[in-house]
Amino acid sequence: MTKNLLRIMAVVMTAMASASTATADNWITPLADNIYVSDMSIPGTHDSATGEGFEGILGGLGKSMAQTQDLTISQQWDCGIRAFDLRPTVENSSDGTYLHIYHGIIKTAMTFDKALLTLRDKLKENPGEFAIVIMRHESDANSNIQDQWPALMDKYLHSEALAGYLIDFRPGLTIGDMRGKILVMSRDTYDNGPHGAYITSWSHSNEYKDQTKAVISGPDGSSERALVQDFYDCTASDGIDKKINSMLYMLNIRMAATSTRWCINHASGYTKNASSDGYRDNAVKTSEALLGVLNSSDTEPGATGIIMMDYAGTDKSGSYNVKGLELTNAIIAQNSRYTHLTTGITDNTTADSKVSVNHKTISSETPMTVYQTDGTMVAHNVTSADMPTEGIFIVKNAGESMKVMVR
């Protein structure tokens, strides 16, 4: 009864939020410090800087051919977006080379440093939040100077302006670790990196087996596997069906998971052709499919991971009902519908008022039953139990269930 009531309330709250203006409170700030970032539901934007407008020789084509967002990066932040896809390339200027954000060969009106400083300033104002940047080297333009990208990227990420605002990746990052920080995850290597993380084995396949091979690694060599779905060319007759099936399959896998595996699931792509209306048409269909799952009272709630979308924060783009604000709010609202996986974890730290973890021992003020994630019972009707291995366990006591990790 209580679970069903919570689901109904979450659906109503999402619908109410979607009817409001494109702003969101600091939705991460109230969440507990010990929640794993990888067990959150986070809305993100694909080719985030295209909402800034376009410039340069081909800039006139941007609005019709390369736009995937209507809102600026600052406006995206304000409506609740916390993951941003930035694609810098090396650009010439009278003062030398620098990094500018492109979409393919079309130049946006946003430099790479301005994008990062925009996020930095948002974090200065909202230190309880965090940002994730997913980055790739957009190498199609200015091909004769792209060999400078590795050195320039190293210089930018080491700049004094960003000192104290970037965080290095390691397995098990929590909200508490990330507050006030930017995690830069790059699909391409650069000098002395990573200053954040590298993501390798990125997948554009619609096959799930190919989407399980990504690896996120930090500067200390630590790494973990990730799920990445970025099937984007939906122009074939069955393209949109493949896209939606692939996207929803990964969503269901992640929402049912009892692990802290990172997941980056793209709603973005194009149908008619690689054009702004192609992105809009795709967004209409993928938003509807995702909302059908997230807003359903029949859906068992769980973490969505990071969902990267086009036309976030706006429900109508041109003549297309893209439902980008409704989807953004639904993803955020998902965080109130399930119990996040938390550390429970650090020695002598209480996960809640009843359960604590010390090394491999789980203790409770009242009798508890402990299960492995496959349902195997480890201990029953005890107040203290030594776990056979490190990992995730389900603790049930006093009529409640929680996930804890022993490490």
Nearest to 175 by CA among 377, 36, 314, 372: 36
- Tokens representing 109? 């009106």
Residue-wise pLDDT tens digits, 231-253: 999 999 999 999 999 999 999 99
- Among 11, 15, 24, 30, CA closest to 313: 24
pLDDT at 208 over 60: yes
The identity of residue 3, as a single letter, is K
Token representation of residue 1: 């009864």
pLDDT in tens, 28-62: 999 999 899 999 999 999 999 999 999 999 999 99
Q: Look at the alpha carbons of 388, 404, 43, 332 in this order and tell me if their dihedral is positive or negative.
A: positive
> Which two tokens mark 246?
């692939």
Report the C-alpha gap between 366 and 350 in whole angstroms.
Answer: 14
Paired with 140 in beta bridges are: none
Q: Which residues contact 27 (CB under 8 A, 6 or more apart)?
A: 80, 332, 335
Residues 356, 349: contact at Cβ < 8 Å?
A: yes
Residue at 241: amino acid letter? D
State mean pLDDT over 362-382: 82
How confident is the model at residue 357, as a pLDDT? 83
- Dihedral sign of CA atoms 132, 138, 142, 147 in order: positive
Place of tokens 């096959």: 207
Whole-number Å distance between alpha carbons of 287 and 276: 16
